[in-house]
A and B are shown apart, each in its own frame.
Chain A
Amino acid sequence: DAMVIQNPRYQVTQFGKPVTLSCSQTLNHNVMYWYQQKSSQAPKLLFHYYDKDFNNEADTPDNFQSRRPNTSFCFLDIRSPGLGDAAMYLCATSRAFRNTEAFFGQGTRLTVV
């Protein structure tokens, strides 16, 4: 049974057209993360929520926003996608920080045309 679900699995968007990626979890975890993973690179943390507290990584572009309306759902909004934003976007959850396991969704592969 999938515990972290990302929709859609594949998303094609036009250059400059806003796009939203979604993530839901059935684990009731406090923390939800969004990572960006470009081809042959390590996942890079964009931001995370601890409950409703939002933490943006210092080098995350303003073009990327996130919403967490409730415990189960978290959204990644890209306001004006550029060609350089094409990547796999991974959502993850964990019960807490530090020594707890992070559970990842299957990812959404974003293509910008």
Chain B
Amino acid sequence: AQSVTQLDSQVPVFEEAPVELRCNYSSSVSVYLFWYVQYPNQGLQLLLKYLSGSTLVKGINGFEAEFNKSQTSFHLRKPSVHISDTAEYFCAVSDQNGGSQGNLIFGKGTKLSVKP
């Protein structure tokens, strides 16, 4: 079974500052990794995903994440945030071995609050 830990429940940051949202996972098998964003009263939207290959993954809205297998981490970063990035961010994993066990397992989320 997999689990996901998002270490920070809330991250306040000033506009144009850099931000890192942390995600660690636990799994006995290889996993795929995802970051989703959820704006207030909306569904989830995929920011980026790691399937294989380069460990640095670039996504939408200027976000990127780096997969670190030895540290079982997949931290999300943005060099300069905007007010519009205020949202909740979810890290998720799925089992590479697939079948119905390949469903997404989400972390508890990190609320990013960007202040002017």
Contact = CB atoms under 8 A, between A and B. Distances in A.
Chain A interface residue count: which class?
Answer: 20 to 34
Contacts of A9: 41
Interface string A27-51: 0000001000000111111001010
Contacts of A42: 4, 90, 106-109
A43 B42 CA distance: 13
Contact of A45 (B46, B96, B104): B104
A55 B100 CA distance: 8
Query: Which of B44, B106, B109 has the most chain A CB atoms inside 10 A of its CB?
Result: B44
Interface string A95-113: 0011101111111010000
Among A33, A48, A50, A101, the one with the most B-chain Cβ atoms within 10 Å of its Cβ is A101
A101 B46 contact: yes
A105 B104 CA distance: 16
20 contacts: A41-B108, A42-B107, A42-B108, A42-B109, A43-B90, A48-B103, A50-B100, A90-B44, A92-B43, A97-B94, A97-B99, A97-B102, A98-B94, A98-B96, A99-B32, A99-B96, A101-B34, A101-B49, A102-B44, A106-B42
